Chain A
Amino acid sequence: MPEGGSAAAFPPARAAFRWAGIGGAALALGLPLLPGQQEYLLYLMTMTFLFGLLAESWSLPAQAGLISFGHAAFFGVGAYGSALLSLKLQLSPWIGLPTAALLASAFGLLAAGVAGNLTGPYFSLATLAMAEILRVIALNWTTLTEGAWGLVGVPGLPWSGLGARAADYYAALLMLAAACGASAWIRRAPLGLAIQAIRQGEARAAASGVDARRVKRIALAVSGLFAGGAGALHAHIFHWVDPASAFSLNLSVLPLVMALFGGNGYLLGPAVGALVLYLGNELIFQRLAPGGHLWLYGGAVILVILALPEGILGWLVVRAGLRPRGSTP
């Protein structure tokens, strides 16, 4: 939460945000323990956390002005990496998943090397091209990836004592919490200040001693780590990976839309965006207009750019009087 100048004047609103956070966390931890048949609910929340994780990972480089249009690249590297490690090397998912996430992190370093010095839309385009190149390779390297058929029979998470759904649920929740924790830590660390400085003006940041290339490298590596983790977890949840889904343009679109919609300047903004948009789509929108999720996501992005430049969380914070209108979070 931002340190608002007028926070002291409105303690009830601040407390309300805090209690909403604590209540939400308690509910999230206890959800699988509640009685009753709730397979579908657990599945929905698992996917919400997964997209929240992807959106949080997208948000870190975005705060330095690196708007990725190709986050599917990280997701796909994680998904294929973990699936191949379990299928070809018979490694346990507990080893395969972090290894694949590290692989995606290494790809983040590569992306920083290729595109790190590009600014604005040029960086975005380079990431889009990289995701597309990986998709074409995954489609055609049939000896390794089985081509368009994809890899099937990826093992689930071996978490004895819990049902498969609950295991997936806690794994997704844990990884989302880890991503938020890392983001919170980075925000307080000098790295967070450097990221902000770069967004506000790279030349000025560099003039005051910020090593912009190094900061961007780190941001993309951390982002790749969590996005790759999301991809790997997705592979183990669905037991299957194919090029069209692992490197789909949708996976590049969703984190961007969710993070901007929730409020990219806030620690929990991307996760809130994922919660509202994913659940809104699954529970409400799909029933009104099946298959019309692009209407929702397209409309959400346009709304944010034109009317809510700081996302719904930013709008709420200003409305609640925690931060004066026009100041930056």
Chain B
Amino acid sequence: MFEAILSGLITGTLYALLASGFALVFGVTGVFNLAHGDLVILGAYVGEFLWRLAGWSPLLAMPAAALPAMLLAAGARPLLSRVGSPFVLRSVVLTFGASLLLQSALQTAFTADFRLIAVPAWDRGIRIFGLRVAAGRVLIAAMALAILSLLHLVFTRTFFGKSLRAVSLDREGAALAGIDPARVDRVALALGGALAGASGPLFAAIHSVTPSAGIGPTLTAIVLTIFGGVGSMRGLLPGGLLLGVAEAVAAWAGGAMWRDLTSLAFLLLLLRWRGGPQAGRGLA
């Protein structure tokens, strides 16, 4: 039971990292990016490729995994400006199409086989509070926490972070204050894509991935984004921890089927509570 909770906390930190790029892009640009999970999987394949061919550790592969996802996300910006109204709905359908294309591309490039980054040294067990966990999972959680803390600092302490938040709260107001919303959009898309790609190798070190596995991280990101209050970054970590623990405990008590049902039920309940038309905006 306690081991399940600890394992859930670790997965939950990774969930928060998976969701951060999605929440950032949605908060700033209003794009509900259904291809987010596919960018994560793209990063996962890059990490797996580097690990298998050159023996790179997933941590080392993260910048390399971030790059293609970042370029793809930033390259989508001119397409998004062509999307008519209603913008959110149409951008959902557009990114849905992008998700299908990305899945096909991944399948062509990497075949449909299951891939997992299984670093032998990461399987060594260590003890935390008397509970046994794999060393690699602790590393993953630590890395995710480090990135999330860094993001928090950027959002709260730098002018750039403040301009992101300003645009997410009020586009026109930010423009009046001298911030160029189009430029902020570009940066948010690139940063969001980079975050998705960078979390890929960590994801592949825990889960085996296939080209169509993107739906999982996408749903997780959506659940956490809605949980945190749409557009809020601060709620991601508590939401991730809660979801991770709930899933782990459900799987521990009732089998793997309940892990999936837990996150889906979470999503439906959250939508009923918070997903109304009044859902707030604003990145904080």
Contact = CB atoms under 8 A, between A and B. Distances in A.
Interface of A: 65, 67, 69, 114-115, 117-122, 124-126, 128-130, 132-133, 136, 139-140, 249, 253, 256-257, 260, 291-292, 294-295, 297-302, 305-306, 309
Contacts, number: 108
B79 A65 contact: no
A65 B276 CA distance: 14
Interface stretch (B154-162, B238-246, B257-265): B257-265
Interface of B: 32, 79, 82-84, 86, 88-90, 92-94, 96-101, 103-104, 107-108, 215, 219, 222, 226, 257, 260-261, 264-265, 267-268, 271-272, 275-277, 279
B89 A121 contact: yes
A298 B98 contact: yes
A121 to B, nearest CB: 5
What is the interface of chain B mostly: helix, strand, loop, or mixed?
helix
A167 B269 CA distance: 44
14 contacts: A115-B271, A120-B277, A122-B271, A122-B275, A122-B276, A125-B275, A129-B264, A129-B268, A130-B268, A139-B257, A140-B257, A305-B83, A306-B79, A306-B82
A128 B275 CA distance: 14
Given A128-B219, A256-B93, 14 more contacts: A65-B86, A67-B89, A67-B92, A69-B96, A118-B275, A120-B88, A120-B89, A126-B268, A133-B264, A140-B257, A294-B100, A297-B97, A298-B98, A305-B94
Closest 4 pairs between A and B when the two form their complex, measured CB to CB: A298-B100, A301-B97, A122-B275, A298-B101
Contacts of A306: 79, 82-83, 94
A299 B97 CA distance: 7
Contact of B261 (A133, A256, A291, A297): A133
B276 A118 contact: yes
A294 B104 contact: yes
B267 A253 contact: no
Contact of A309 (B84, B215, B222): B84
A319 B215 CA distance: 38
A231 to B, nearest CB: 21
Contacts of B257: 136, 139-140
Contacts of B226: 122
B271 A126 contact: yes
A295 B276 contact: no
Contacts of B89: 65, 67, 120-121
A295 B104 contact: yes
Contacts of B32: 121
A297 B100 contact: yes
B34 to A, nearest CB: 9
A125 B272 CA distance: 11
Contact of A120 (B86, B103, B265, B272): B86
